[in-house]
Chain A
Amino acid sequence: MGLDNRIHTPEGLRDIYGKELKLKSFIEDRLLDVLKLYHYDMIETPLIEYFNVFNGEKGTASSNQMYKLFDRENNTLVIRPDITPSIARSVAKYFANEKLHIRLSYKGQTFMNRPRLHGNLNGVTQLGAELIGDDESAADGEILSMAVESMLKLGLSEFQVSVGQVDFFRGIVEEYKLDDASKEALRDAIVNNKIFVVKDLSKKAGIPNDAVEILSGMASSFDNDEMLAKAKGCVNNDTSLAAIERLEKVYQILKLYGYEKYVSFDLSLLSDYDYYSGIVFKGYTYGSGSPVVGGGRYNGLISKFGVDMPSVGYAFVVDELMFALSNQNLLLSDGEDGIMVLYDNDDLNDAISAAKAIREKDMSVLLMRKSSRSTIDEYIAHALTHEISKIVYISEDIKLINAEDKSEKALSLDDVLGGAL
């Protein structure tokens, strides 16, 4: 199929423009607002990195999901599948001797080479935060609160952040002395919510029913205190108990922030990756088939780059939020309202003076010459698609046209230059 690909983007990748790009910037701006409020410093890492930065359980993508290329020395490079490993690399390189906590944030495109025709994007924008060097529950609470606050800032009202603690599972594995194969089978069943398999495997291992309920997510409830008490009652090992105590502390901190009602504890939430070591969470809202945010504590990650530092963070997938916001018909008003200055060919001088005067008042001006081949109505429609409601039409006389109801009002040039619009 010799398709002419000059005008196409590679599969799974696309152009974003117009209203969609505005929506995207709106989302990014709200998320960045929160990062600013919590004083996280932006860091920019390269789009292309050595394969070794992401290889060996350091990133979320498997080797065959990464776009790879080679440099002149034949080193394998990848186009980053996510950004957290790059941050860990940077921290190991620039902040190894930092004694105080480090707060970093990032935004960038990430790429995954996924199976064809699966309906998923291969390139998405991730925006996130990492709090490094702080192993306390206050750090977990801060990161979770920022994730909740970001969703609120976006105008989302129906969303949920599910929070798990991977050490709870780890403790159960130790308590019931599961071998590696049964541990992996059980983890796979829990991660994929195969409730019947979890029950089956647990029965074989002698794990009691109430613990199975917790592990399979069937016991998570809207009453978080009750849920944690239940979880505490069904285990008999220090690791799992410590995990629950940690969640209790995090819950107290969320209460201080006032965000506890958006969070629900769910111990069936595990990670496929061994470097996750404490809380793990995902945020869900209507209109997107995947979580819009994910995160957790990964104290083992930076040590893979040679420096031992605890870290907790989150990453929003901006493209999933775009699906969610547009499917929920959340109307955005960015207060952005420009003016169209439309002029006949002979009135260029007045038009430029008018545009300059309006722009000096910090309003955006779309300056357009009226072609004799297009009607006023076409320009009105054009204004509306660019979310402009006022048109100043300069011809022999000057008119202010309201694009929404097409009403007209006569103006003088002095009115326009004086800013009387």
Chain B
Amino acid sequence: MKYLTFALAKGRLAFKALELLEQTGITCEEMKDKDTRKLIFTNEELKLKFFLSKATDVPTYVELGAADIGVVGYDTILEEGRNIYEVLDLGFGKCRMCVCGPESARSILDSHEMIHVASKYPNIAKDYFHNVRQQTAEIIKLNGSVELAPIVGLSDVIVDIVETGTTLKENGLTVLEEICPLSARVVVNQVSMRLEQERIRDIITKVNNVINGGN
């Protein structure tokens, strides 16, 4: 039997995904060791391999077949635009992709004049302003602390993930428009989905039973 390889987005998502897999009988003891420096973990009995990677890289590993299955946020899937099968909504890691900014920026949105948008998600931002709002937008790609941009005058608004909205509020920003809801997804390589159909389908069904209680 061949190994099935899982790529998990580092951090909370990976932790929750492993918890979920554990409930279906898929475990990876090696991974629980907090001090390990290993990059790849194996379950010899079930012939499974697991590795953690930066979230944005998960769709890449899966599209090119270096991993068969991935767990990653919908935000990353949208932003990366890779050719992968998105087979399951895990329902956790729920948040929203939003256009945020100071209340004063609402008039720029309403008037449809040229707008400056800062984001870690330039593709999502461009798609939203270009195709959905049909508004001319100058997209500025940032790599972190995006909330700063409208405060220091780098941009009018930002496009970012909003979970509770606390950071926004503390910085005098607010959600101006919602782009789409987000959550963790299971993605599968298109070749693996066909060649390892039975095993992958079995995993999907079991995971689905845990999260949806059999519905």
Q: Distance in Å from the Cβ of A265 to the closest Cβ of chain B?
A: 12
Please tell me if the beta carbons of A291 and B87 are within 8 angstroms of each other in the complex: no
Select which of A158, A196, A220 is within 8 A of B195 by beta carbon: A158
Asked if A284 is at the interface of the complex by the 8 Å CB criterion, the answer is yes
Which residues does chain A contribute within 8 Å of B197, judged by CB atoms? 220
Main secondary structure of the interface of B (DSSP, over half): mixed
Interface residues of A in 217-236 (CB under 8 A from B): 217-218, 220
A194, B84: Cα distance in complex, Å:
10
Interface residues as binary, A275-316 with B (CB distance below 8 Å gives 1, 0 otherwise): 000000010111111110000000000000000000000000
Interface residues as binary, B33-54 with A (CB distance below 8 Å gives 1, 0 otherwise): 0000000000000000000000
Chain B count of residues within 8 A CB distance of the other chain: 24
Please tell me if the beta carbons of A193 and B193 are within 8 angstroms of each other in the complex: yes
Select which of B64, B188, B195, B204 is within 8 A of A286 by beta carbon: B195
Select which of A115, A162, A287 is within 8 A of B194 by beta carbon: A162
Which residues does chain B contribute within 8 Å of A120, judged by CB atoms? 64
Chain A count of residues within 8 A CB distance of the other chain: 26
Select which of B2, B60, B84, B188 is within 8 A of A119 by beta carbon: B60
Select which of B2, B63, B88 is within 8 A of A289 by beta carbon: B63
Which residues does chain A contribute within 8 Å of B63, judged by CB atoms? 119, 289
A196, B63: Cα distance in complex, Å:
20
Please tell me if the beta carbons of B64 and A291 are within 8 angstroms of each other in the complex: no
Which residues does chain B contribute within 8 Å of A207, judged by CB atoms? none
Please tell me if the beta carbons of B2 and A286 are within 8 angstroms of each other in the complex: yes
Closest to B80 in A: A118
Interface residues as binary, A162-195 with B (CB distance below 8 Å gives 1, 0 otherwise): 1000000000000000000000000000001111
A187, B193: Cα distance in complex, Å:
18
Which residues does chain B contribute within 8 Å of A196, judged by CB atoms? 87-89
A290, B190: Cα distance in complex, Å:
7
Interface residues as binary, B174-215 with A (CB distance below 8 Å gives 1, 0 otherwise): 000000000000001111011101000100100000000000
8 sampled A-B residue pairs with Cβ under 8 A: A119-B60, A162-B194, A193-B188, A194-B86, A196-B88, A220-B197, A284-B194, A289-B65
Asked if A60 is at the interface of the complex by the 8 Å CB criterion, the answer is no
Most buried by A among B66, B85, B189: B85
Asked if A160 is at the interface of the complex by the 8 Å CB criterion, the answer is yes
Which residues does chain A contribute within 8 Å of B81, judged by CB atoms? 115
Q: Distance in Å from the Cβ of B45 to the closest Cβ of chain A?
A: 22
Which residues does chain B contribute within 8 Å of A195, judged by CB atoms? 87-88, 204
Q: Distance in Å from the Cβ of B213 to the closest Cβ of chain A?
A: 15
A13, B2: Cα distance in complex, Å:
32
Interface residues as binary, B74-101 with A (CB distance below 8 Å gives 1, 0 otherwise): 0000000101111111000000000000
Closest to A195 in B: B87
Most buried by A among B63, B64, B191: B191
Which residues does chain B contribute within 8 Å of A264, judged by CB atoms? 194
Please tell me if the beta carbons of A288 and B191 are within 8 angstroms of each other in the complex: yes
Which residues does chain A contribute within 8 Å of B85, judged by CB atoms? 192-194
Closest to A194 in B: B86
Interface residues of B in 141-172 (CB under 8 A from A): none
Which residues does chain A contribute within 8 Å of B201, judged by CB atoms? 218
Please tell me if the beta carbons of B87 and A193 are within 8 angstroms of each other in the complex: yes
A287, B2: Cα distance in complex, Å:
12
Q: Distance in Å from the Cβ of B175 to the closest Cβ of chain A?
A: 25
Q: Distance in Å from the Cβ of B89 to the closest Cβ of chain A?
A: 5
Q: Distance in Å from the Cβ of B2 to the closest Cβ of chain A?
A: 7
A130, B58: Cα distance in complex, Å:
37
Q: Distance in Å from the Cβ of A330 to the closest Cβ of chain B?
A: 15
Please tell me if the beta carbons of B87 and A289 are within 8 angstroms of each other in the complex: no
Please tell me if the beta carbons of A119 and B87 are within 8 angstroms of each other in the complex: no
A285, B190: Cα distance in complex, Å:
11
Which residues does chain A contribute within 8 Å of B195, judged by CB atoms? 158, 160, 284-286
